[in-house]
Structure 1
Amino acid sequence: MKKFKVAVLSLKQLPRQHRIALVSTSLIVAAAVMWQPSSPFNKSSSFSSDGRVEVDIAVDDLEVLSDQHSEPMGVVLDPHDPEFLAPKDELEQQLENVVPEAHSHKVASGETLGVIFSQYALPLSDMYRLIDVNKSIQNLGVGQMLEWALNDEGHVESLSIKRSAKRTDVYTLTPQGYKYKAQEENGEIKPVMLTGRISGSFYQSARSAGLSPNQIQTLVQALQWRFDFGREARKGDRFAVTVEREFIDGKAVNRGEVKALYYISGNREVFVMRNEDGQFYDAEGKSLNRALRRIPLAKRYRISSSFNPNRKHPITRRISPHNGTDFATPIGTPVLAAGDGVVVKARKHRLAGNYIVIKHGREYMTRYLHLHRLLVKVGDKVKMGQRIALSGNTGRSTGPHLHYELIKKNRPVNAMKVPLPQAEPVSSSQRGKFVKLARDERQKLLAVMPG
């Protein structure tokens, strides 16, 4: 083993091109001399006294393990393991039972369908099947909105692309495969006001008022930082909601999109309205979001292993997803909270080592693995940029690094690429117009508010 380690060290000191050539030659020679008809996958591993993993590997795996400082290939942490998830409250459980988790993305300049699927770890096989149904799905325009839902197996169950104010392309998964339909809005869009009073849970009261589960989900997510309907709604609270519905020949043909909400709880009043950009703002045009930072470190470190849901084991060729981003940080490097939130897990795991999970509102979670020391405990409220831990090399790790994951709506996404929430107000050029419209809308909702 000592000679083996010396050989590894010497190999690492060579230029990359030389290493590739040397490794390739070694493999050819080894294959010719030592080949025998036994399984090539009988590799073994063991743990040394210092907690590191001693792995018997082929030479061509050296760069994967020693240079990337990532989890050994084949060791996959299940992102849906309750060990790494935040407990759900009653409202989340109610919505989970009736509403497929809806995901959305606004197309940015230069983005392709493949880029978007990669950012959100969507199955590329589904993308190719969608393209087979209608090749025009690849023609994305800047600013167009994609929305999708996944089934229990993680496949795209439905996907829509809002091409214009009047047209939406809709793809639905059926037993026979994906079906495509272009939906045209030919009717008249009219505002409908729904009102209610909290008598039990917010969910049941909103349903009684005529709101659909999807509309309730929209409001819960829009106000996740301003008002928590699961914990702060009280019996007797009053609310009024404006929903924009499409009417044909005087008959509503869809449930409509939520435009505004006015909520009164004791002496507390909450008003929000959707702007032309699709985001909700308060009456002064201020954002309801809390920002997230892309890198949970004070400075940039080399990314030793990138987010890759389609990563393959170099020997077995089986999919071995890497659901986070690894930073090659020395032991003791301060780890910062990616955003404001609450610590929901802070413990030790045999694979993840010392780890922390932070819940940011109702839509995002972040995970920090292989830590040397934890600086927070469960229940702590943290601010963006606050020190929460020191990076380390605990658990099943082949070298000091920070493994960082961003979870959006219970799905791991590429933290280095996906759009992150920003706490920016309505643009100065539109703010005056928005504030005037918001003032008028608030007065209309107040006029129909239950007494």
Structure 2
Amino acid sequence: MLPKYLFYILLFSAPFLGVQCESDKKEQVPVEKKVAKPKVIKEYNLVLNNYNVKRDTIKPGDSFGAILDQYGVAPAEVFIIADKIKDVFNVARINAGKPFTVLQAKDTTSQIEALVYEHDRINYTTIFLRDSIYAVKGKKPVTIKRRKASGVIASSLSAAMDREGLSLALADQLSGMYQWKVDFFKLQKGDHFKVIYKEKYINDTIYAGLAGIEAAVLTHYDNPYYAFKFGKDSITGFSKFYDDEANSLQSFFLKAPLQFSRISSRFTKRRFHPVQKRWKAHKGTDYAAPHGTPIWSTADGVVIKSSYTSGNGNYVKVRHNEKYTTQYLHMSKRNVKVGQRVKQGDVIGFVGSTGLATGPHVCYRFWVYGKQVDPYKQNLPSSEPLKESLKPEYFLAIEPIKKELDNIKTAKLDDLNL
């Protein structure tokens, strides 16, 4: 039996022992649920989360004022806005089919705060309308990606490039580079090409067009025609291309005076005239093209005729030097005057069917020392070669690129399922 004093000690200490045990239990701390923050959406150099965003496209007949009217902007205010931003943006020149974005306040007023007009995939203008009225031009972030491609020709260069999934713009630029060296109407089955080029992408994902060709090689009749980009023309600003021996790919004359659909009639001593209904010489080359297609001067020179006759229609004649003269017939409209100096590639008129013509085309005529000749049979002079002082730098620059081109694999004609 316990002594009496021990009994009382245990009796009175038991509640305290119980409290101590309860205090040892771990406290239950409520766990806070993490709320995901909304993703910040940045575009046009703005945080779009701060606005109610509405995207639309300019429709035929839309005007700047009519668009703003939908968002509560009165005509008098539109006039003030147009006047304040006129040095940056002409509101009369919005075009149907162009995207635009309206940014509205998130409060109960839903007041329009800005309008963004997209000129193309990259360039845009933002018109701010809230606290103060002003406009700023901007560009979407663009990245450049370097690509390599090759193909074998079964029928034409454009068909071969299309088969490889390459863009029309790349085909146009490649054919433009070689237009002075290769007659594309005479390409052979089995000819092939290799090309290194660059493409533009918006936000690293959206294709935004061709950035340019860096180098290429077109093999025709087993002869490789190399092309390497090196510098720019001081007058036109266009890229210049040279071959593997530093010779310019650009001739003194363009092969054709326009971007044409087809050659509808070549230089010949005997052709049945479609209008006069008789056989006669045709001392020119007819290039069929849509009405209004720009016509270029094929070389630098001075305009010595810009006139109209019943046979030629609207025509322009350019003297390039004492040896060469060219003429361009049947224009819908002339774009130069007598005495005007023109550069190679300048637009001197537009395709039409004036004079003795049955459809839209340009008749291109070529004189050597006053005698009309077939330009396709002339050994025309080349443009100035690369300066001797630049050649060491050039050969050093193209050496690794040429190795890259040579290492690109090309399919054989037999491998194609045609």
TM-score by length of 2: 0.39
Larger strand fraction of residues: 2
TM-score by length of 1: 0.36
The structure with higher relative contact order (CA 8 Å, sep 6+) is 1
Larger helix fraction of residues: 1
Bigger Rg, structure 1 or 2? 2
